[in-house]
A and B are shown apart, each in its own frame.
Chain A
Amino acid sequence: MTLALYVPTGSPVHRAPAGAKLLTLVAVSVVVFAVPTLPVVGGVLAAVVLVGLGVARLPPALLGRQVRAVLWWLVALAIVTGVVGGVAGAALVVLRLLALVLAAAVVTATTRVTELVAVVEWLCSPLRVFGVRPARIGLLIAMTLRFIPLVAERAERIREAQAARGGTVRGIRAWTTTAVPLLVQVLQMAHTTAEALDARGADDDAPPARPPSRGRR
């Protein structure tokens, strides 16, 4: 799995349990909304930066990237809130956004994907209502990561084939003439994948899947 956003430094923050980090993140977001005063929100932001750079030893550039990603939002929100609520209001909104985004970035950068997936499996237990077995989450993730390059590749092939036959490459028509055959192809592929998984015992712990026979003999 590509861990584009995980930055290993072996700090105490990295070693802290993923569940605890996520809970802290939730706490941070509750506090900055529940107590909307400059000292509290500013303090939270300072603490987040301190933990991220000082304790977790994350590269400052990483946090900088996260800020740049929301820069436009920062400017737009600052202008709108500035007009409505003055400079203090604008500062509050901006600091809050920074605190939230950076806190989330610190958790993501210090927690392995596998740990987060384990927390996700635990969080997904209520989804049993929808008939999802939490143990299947790993399989779902693996299948998705597998399908991403396959779908992209088949889309490209269909576009090429249509271009070769002089098809349109722009506009709504191009979208539908690509999407329909693509979807039919990949749905078929997903079906075969499921069969192949079943053939290797994927549904072994599932309840009996077949409806009663209506055979004529």
Chain B
Amino acid sequence: MKTRDLAYVALFAAITAVLGLVPAIQVGPVPITAQTLGVMLAGSVLGARRGFLALLLFLVLVAVGLPLLASGSGGLSVFAGPSGGYLYSWPIGAFVVGLITELSWSRYNLGWALLANVVGGIVVVYAIGIPFLALYGDIPLAAAFTGSFAFLPGDAVKAVVASLVAVQVRRAYPVIERPRRAAASQ
């Protein structure tokens, strides 16, 4: 991996941390935070591999004790809590967003961006977070599923924002196709 890729990975870990500073809206037990926007943007801008690593790095920083989550929490206990599954899903979600983005890169538009962000940033995150919660709390999957619907409006808005942003950033500073272009010009 080139130093530049490391810098991009670190950058999106940092961006996810900064998104945690945006005040969260509390819905029941769960704060709706802007941080999953970091998942979507990392995948959309960096692609699968670097997006995955960015979110993994972010979680590592949380795990070693930096209070970077939206609630100002951190440390290993958040991974041992009932919402840990959502955290584990982040790197995978970013990977899936990135994968769909890369595959559609040549004809990438708002539609593809929305597909990538909804599948990777919402479906994958729920598909891991909800069963984890059900297993953890010993509650029926259906109950955990219903409860998680509180997040849906917020997540839908985030997917729209991430997609609008991703399409424009692709035009202004395309990171995903950059390596290929640079290789061709040298």
Contacts and interface: CB of A to CB of B under 8 A. Distances in A.
Interface of A: 1-6, 25, 29, 36, 66, 69-70, 72-73, 75-77, 80-81, 84-85, 89, 92-93, 97, 100-105, 107-109, 111, 113, 116-117, 120, 127, 130-133, 136-137, 139-141, 143-148, 150-152, 155, 172, 175-176, 179-180, 183-184, 186-191, 193-195, 197-198, 202-203, 206, 209-211, 213-214
Interface string B151-186: 000000100110011001100110100000001101
B131 interface: no
A66 B72 CA distance: 12
A81 B29 CA distance: 15
Interface in B49-98: 49, 52-53, 57-58, 60-61, 63-67, 71, 73-83
Interface of B: 1-4, 6-11, 13-15, 17-18, 21, 28-30, 41, 45, 49, 52-53, 57-58, 60-61, 63-67, 71, 73-83, 136-140, 143, 147, 157, 160-161, 164-165, 168-169, 172-173, 175, 183-184, 186
Given A69-B71, A187-B45, A203-B3, A211 B186 contact: yes
Contact of A104 (B60, B76, B161): B76
B3 A198 contact: yes
Interface of A is mostly: helix
Nearest to A141: B61
Given A73-B82, A76-B29, A214-B186, A194 B6 contact: yes
A130 B81 contact: no
A92 B139 CA distance: 12
Contact of B53 (A93, A132, A133, A179): A132
Contact of A213 (B9, B138, B160, B186): B186
A143 B7 contact: yes
Given A187-B175, A194-B6, A172 B160 contact: yes
Tell which of A2, A75, A144, A146 has the most Cβ of chain B within 10 Å.
Answer: A144
